[in-house]
Chain A
């Protein structure tokens, strides 16, 4: 399946590169522009993007003006900005942006929000192929080498989160929140038990890595 393409407009070199690097690891294609006007003119020829990450204060053309252009090409927009005053948020969201993330942000948060926006705009496929597995989110099934593996619901959800964020270590606390929900009062030990089940059932002993002091990562 084709990778989702994301356009980034951010004038801070360090941050633009950081986002790009993250998205690359999370299996997205990225294009970075440091200047709003430059991005706008480039979009005229190539606008096959699934998502745009826009800084509000960029030279050339500001984020709010770029948002209008993105709407023309039906590209969903997430604002990424240091401006955390309510007026800007309201202007961004009522203007048609899908989300508004204030700097400084956590990378995992950015990835989750990107995923949610892509899901809302139906730009993710229901099937994710990773390693020798084929995860079908609609059917809630996992096939390994074409052979269906029976997983419990929570084991499936855990695998889905790890697969969607492959190569990214996620802490046990975050896994609890993302799989079992914020209200779940279980211990982080639950995560370890389910990870153990996944490793055993799918033979992923080497691929699901334990990163000390951080959490688990599917490679």
Chain B
């Protein structure tokens, strides 16, 4: 069931119950006051009749003048247009011992004197001594007023008060109908309002559905600052997080695939060469020069594989979250270690290494940081012309390696830190690179929480800056 229907249903039940209770109370009170009023009116009428009868008939004597009684009710009152419902009778104890006989003088009702006498009457508590009772007969409701006079004369006056009940019923029907009418309007109104109010929820649902199908860039519109609006905001924040997370996962997956692709390529090439030359040596008749060349290539490609596997091992090691052993070390010692390791390649190209430092100290893993410097120097050497120089400079919170080589094009600067990336493949290969050096550097630097900044201009050289926090 829709939440809209539920709310409408629940509120309808609540309102209906309340309306029912209020209606019942109003109805009860109204009908009570109406019946009181009807009683008062009936009493008033009866009082008048009784008083007139008392005065006009003078029943205080010792003997009852039956003819006068008959005349008064049957002729006089009718002629005076005072039609009312009376029963007049004389009560006589003819046989003694309480066995009553009623002589009917006048009866304009359907009830016999015996029946009227047998009711239980309540005193109206007035000076006249009128008594009354309420009486139901044939679906109607009647009030009977009774007064006993001297010499056993009894006058009953009957007032029909059925109309009170009918009025109450009519009122009940009209109240019920109007309540239902109001309810219908209210339900319709509520339904429309809820539809409007819950529309953001519907949108939220649709958006969530789309997100479930992989469309992560969807957001909901916030219309109101209420709970639904807040839910929308939270949803948007969640969607943002999901999108970012998914994106980064996809990115890392892509990087991994690329890495694996590059790795297979890097492995396949030397292996093709090695197995090819080996097959040639095995199966072909080669000149001694060709044989030597084949052996030379096999040796070289094996070296390349070894270098590759060493670097791969290091990358894997760094990838696992092993603790770094950071110690306080001077820039001087770092530069010395790196310089020594790079001696051969520097000498080959006749490049001078200049170290500038003023006793700065850094909190690093000395072996790994030396590797970083070696990689950066190696990179600089590859980019430089023979005879130029490379500067190692330490300052407060930074170490930089500067070369005066051909520089790195702007669009390549970000990519060079990716594994297996080489700006110029054939040239890098000839100088023995596999494209892993800078990736390794980036990884080590990252593990140290140090940022690597590249400042480079084509044709003027590059500065690789390690910025310590």
Q: Is the CB of A11 within 8 A of B425?
A: yes
**Does B290 lie at the interface of the complex (its beta carbon under 8 Å from any beta carbon of A)?**
yes
Taken together as a complex, chains A and B put the C-alpha atoms of A219 and B284 apart, in Å, by: 9
Q: Is the CB of A219 within 8 A of B293?
A: no
Binds B, one of A15-23, A142-150, A155-163: A15-23
Taken together as a complex, chains A and B put the C-alpha atoms of A17 and B296 apart, in Å, by: 12
Contacts of B283 in A (CB 8 A): 107-108, 168-170, 211, 214-215, 217
Residue in B closest to A12 when the chains form the complex, CB atoms? B269
**Does A96 lie at the interface of the complex (its beta carbon under 8 Å from any beta carbon of B)?**
no
Taken together as a complex, chains A and B put the C-alpha atoms of A125 and B286 apart, in Å, by: 26
Q: Is the CB of A59 within 8 A of B426?
A: yes
Taken together as a complex, chains A and B put the C-alpha atoms of A215 and B284 apart, in Å, by: 11
Residue from the list B271, B282, B301 in contact with A214, Cβ < 8 A? B282
Q: Is the CB of A105 within 8 A of B272?
A: yes
**Could you give, for residues 293-329 of chain B, a 1 whenever the CB lies within 8 Å of some chain A CB and a 0 otherwise?**
1100100110000000000000000000000000000
Smallest CB separation, B218 vs chain A (Å): 31
Contacts of B272 in A (CB 8 A): 15, 18, 82, 103-105
**Does B273 lie at the interface of the complex (its beta carbon under 8 Å from any beta carbon of A)?**
yes
Q: Is the interface of B mostly helix, strand, loop or mixed?
A: helix
> Which residues of chain A (16-75) have a CB below 8 Å from chain B?
17-19, 21-22, 25, 34-35, 57, 59
**Does A141 lie at the interface of the complex (its beta carbon under 8 Å from any beta carbon of B)?**
no
Smallest CB separation, B271 vs chain A (Å): 5
Taken together as a complex, chains A and B put the C-alpha atoms of A18 and B425 apart, in Å, by: 19
Residue from the list B270, B285, B425 in contact with A14, Cβ < 8 A? B270
**Does A167 lie at the interface of the complex (its beta carbon under 8 Å from any beta carbon of B)?**
yes
Q: Is the CB of B300 within 8 A of A219?
A: no
Interface size on A, residues (CB 8 A): 32
Contacts of A83 in B (CB 8 A): 265
Residue in A closest to B297 when the chains form the complex, CB atoms? A14
Contacts of A170 in B (CB 8 A): 283
Taken together as a complex, chains A and B put the C-alpha atoms of A116 and B300 apart, in Å, by: 33
**Does A187 lie at the interface of the complex (its beta carbon under 8 Å from any beta carbon of B)?**
no
Taken together as a complex, chains A and B put the C-alpha atoms of A91 and B272 apart, in Å, by: 23
**Does A13 lie at the interface of the complex (its beta carbon under 8 Å from any beta carbon of B)?**
yes
Residue in A closest to B296 when the chains form the complex, CB atoms? A14
**Does A183 lie at the interface of the complex (its beta carbon under 8 Å from any beta carbon of B)?**
no
**Could you give, for residues 203-216 of chain A, a 1 whenever the CB lies within 8 Å of some chain B CB and a 0 otherwise?**
00000000100110
Contacts of A214 in B (CB 8 A): 282-283
Smallest CB separation, A203 vs chain B (Å): 20
